[in-house]
Amino acid sequence: MKIAITGCNGSVGTRVVLAALEQGHTIVGLDAVPCSEPLASLLLRKRDGQPAKFTFKRVDLTDFEAALAALQPERVEGIVQLAAVRTPADYKVLAHNTSVLHRPALRIDTYARGIRLRRKHFHYRNVVISWNILRAAAELKINRVAQASSVNVIPLVWSDRKDFEYFPIDEEHPCRPDEPYGLSKLICEIQADAIVRRYPAMKVASLRLSWSLPSREDALREDPERRKNDLWGYVQEDSAAEAFLLAVAGEDGKWSGHERFFIVAPDTSANEETVELWQTYWRHVPLKEGKDLNGRKGFFDCSKAERLLGWVHQNPGQ
């Protein structure tokens, strides 16, 4: 397929680009900052004697007409939407509605293959960019979109009130964010609901990503209390990339419309047994009927992603 990947310079975007090229797809990368040196150097490497099938465009995706103009001549068949602020930032408005930032003291840092890239001047407006990409896809009859949502649509690491109703958490769990990042991602999901109602040929996957890292070891902390507010979740970065490609270019026919998927490793990033973590920190939260937390089993149920996308989490060496 020919796939557009927005936010291609970010840590997740870089991995999706590389995985897509490895699978033989042709990629159009869109980002608000110049193509990063780490990504550019990787893409210059030839495969089978040929340069990577990758085109980069610098574009402000908060501008709908600019987004449409960038996508229209490319005739892409699917879009992976990753452009976003990745944290609540100031816990006020930056993640939700600020587009351009001229104060270098406030910036978003992204990571590509462990190299720090400072984005000094731009904040992505999560809600605006998501709508612009969905609406542009509808205009151009691009019927496959996978957008980055987050586990933080439920009250998780940045929320004050952790009102988990049951473990393991699945897509039926209520979403009650109390901070701007989780709220912006929840609104992105609602926007996807709206777009497929008007354009029923479209398929949109909202992938609720956990902390994307090179390995489980990168998520480990000596004191398990430091990770209790995100339930010791993580996802191996290349496995996360595979989920986006399965949503856009995978087997057709198993789902339609807009679907939400948790994309989290099946184990925790803690050395303690999961039942011990549950009893120590979250003993008041009941287990869902028929479920267990034996061994180091994680607090998220990703069986929907396996059933509909064919996604199975993999760690390096497995």
Predicted local distance difference test score (pLDDT) of residue 114? 36
Comparing 90 with 313, which gets the higher pLDDT? 313
CA distance linking residue 307 with residue 311, whole number of Å: 8
257: domain range? 2-88+121-215+235-267+298-309
Q: How many CB atoms lie within 10 A of CB 275?
A: 15
Q: How many CB atoms lie within 10 A of CB 307?
A: 12
CA distance linking residue 316 with residue 308, whole number of Å: 24
290 domain-assigned: no
The residues, any chain, with a CB within 8 Å of residue 132's CB and separated by 6 or more, are: 61, 62, 63, 64, 67, 68
CA distance linking residue 45 with residue 65, whole number of Å: 33
pLDDT-derived band at 51 (thresholds 50, 70, 90) equals: confident
Type of residue numbered 191: Q
DSSP 8-state class, residue 192: H
Cβ neighbourhood burial of 300 (10 Å; 0-12, 13-18, 19+): buried
User: Average pLDDT of 74-93?
Assistant: 84
Closest CA to 272 of 243, 297, 245: 297
Contact yes or no for 276/232 (Cβ under 8 A): no
Is pLDDT of 181 > 60? yes
pLDDT-derived band at 315 (thresholds 50, 70, 90) equals: confident
- Percent of the chain exceeding pLDDT 90 equals 73
The runs of H, that is alpha helices, within 231-312 are 237-249, 274-281, 303-309
DSSP 8-state class, residue 217: G
CA distance linking residue 95 with residue 116, whole number of Å: 20
User: Average pLDDT of 218-238?
Assistant: 95
Half-sphere exposure of 24 (CA within 13 A, CB side): 3
Is 0.85 surpassed by the pTM of this model? yes
Predicted local distance difference test score (pLDDT) of residue 80? 98
Is pLDDT of 157 > 80? yes
Is pLDDT of 82 > 90? yes
User: Average pLDDT of 183-212?
Assistant: 97
User: How many residues does this entry show for the chain?
Assistant: 318
CA distance linking residue 43 with residue 37, whole number of Å: 10
pLDDT-derived band at 318 (thresholds 50, 70, 90) equals: low
CATH code for the domain of 159:
3.40.50.720
Joined together, the tokens standing for residue 128 give: 């605006």
**Mean per-residue pLDDT of the chain:** 88
Is pLDDT of 19 > 60? yes
**Phi then psi dihedrals of residue 258, to 5 deg:** -115, 130
Predicted local distance difference test score (pLDDT) of residue 87? 73
Predicted local distance difference test score (pLDDT) of residue 116? 37
DSSP 8-state class, residue 271: S
7 domain-assigned: yes
19 domain-assigned: yes
94 domain-assigned: no
Predicted local distance difference test score (pLDDT) of residue 111? 33
Joined together, the tokens standing for residue 151 give: 């586990």
pLDDT digits (tens, 9 = 90+) for 247-262: 999 988 899 999 999 9
102 domain-assigned: no
Closest CA to 123 of 81, 159, 88: 88
Domain tally, the chain: 1
279 domain-assigned: no
CA dihedral 132, 113, 180, 188 (to 10 degrees): 30
149 domain-assigned: yes
The residues, any chain, with a CB within 8 Å of residue 307's CB and separated by 6 or more, are: 254
Contact yes or no for 145/196 (Cβ under 8 A): no
pLDDT digits (tens, 9 = 90+) for 89-145: 666 666 666 554 433 333 333 333 333 333 333 334 889 999 999 999 999 999 999
228 domain-assigned: no
